[in-house]
Amino acid sequence: MPIPPPLLKGTLHDYQIGHLVDIPPPGPAVPAERRLLNLTLPPWQRPEVWTQAQKRRFVEGIFLGLGCGQYVVNGSDWEPDGQPKPMSAWLLDGQQRISALRDFLAGDLVVFDDVSFPAMPPADQLRFKRRPFPCFELDYTDDENSLKELYDRLNFSGTPHTAEQRVLPSPSIQKDARHD
């Protein structure tokens, strides 16, 4: 059986966190359409589910140099009258991370016990907004079934860890750590 073609066909953009608030919306919102910053959510995507603690740990991880991962959007395309085509710029992966960033940038999320974005010096705000957050932009498609398949593969293929599954360091690593 031949290997199927890649589901991710498009362009990886080296965007920064600030791009999420700087990009214009794809067009006027359709009634009942959900938006996250200037991105449109597919109607079948789950609502926000991360707790405040999960959002906080994600944003703190960015400050600690752990990065943001990448988010995935359907490409944008327009009708001849300038209106966005159906499914243009749908956010397929990254909703929970982007909602954490939205809350932090708005001052609704405090990290490291007392750090809020609005209270940060302007230079530190700029440095935070310039941190990388790449976006994989698919070639535009109006094939909702292929978008759902990609969404499912991106969001349902992992198995969450339990605390009991955490692997402890080997005895040699523990021994080396005591000598530091």
Q: What is the pLDDT of residues 46-64, one digit of tens each?
A: 899 999 999 999 999 999 9
Angle between helices 95-106 and 52-63 (to 10 degrees): 80
Contact (Cβ atoms closer than 8 angstroms) between residue 155 and residue 26 = no
Contact (Cβ atoms closer than 8 angstroms) between residue 170 and residue 177 = no
For residues 31 and 34, give the distance between their C-alpha atoms in angstroms, rounded to a whole number.
9
For residues 73 and 89, give the distance between their C-alpha atoms in angstroms, rounded to a whole number.
6
**Radius of gyration of the CA atoms of the chain, in A:** 19
Residue 11: band (very low, low, confident or very high) from pLDDT cuts 50, 70, 90 = very high
Q: What pLDDT shows up at residue 21? A: 87
For residues 47 and 169, give the distance between their C-alpha atoms in angstroms, rounded to a whole number.
37
Q: Which amino acid is at 160?
A: P
Q: Tell me: the pLDDT tens digits for 121-152?
A: 999 999 999 999 999 999 999 999 999 999 98
Contact (Cβ atoms closer than 8 angstroms) between residue 19 and residue 12 = no
For residues 116 and 151, give the distance between their C-alpha atoms in angstroms, rounded to a whole number.
32
In this prediction, residues 10-32 reach a mean pLDDT of 82
For residues 28 and 1, give the distance between their C-alpha atoms in angstroms, rounded to a whole number.
45
Torsion, Cα of 52, 56, 59, 61 (10° steps): -140
**Which stretch of 12-16, 44-48, 91-95, 169-173 has the lowest confidence by average pLDDT?**
169-173
Q: Tell me: the pLDDT tens digits for 69-117?
A: 999 999 989 899 988 899 999 999 999 999 999 999 999 999 999 999 9
For residues 17 and 103, give the distance between their C-alpha atoms in angstroms, rounded to a whole number.
13
- Over 60: is that where the pLDDT of 178 sits? no
Q: Which residue has the tokens 């405040």?
A: 52
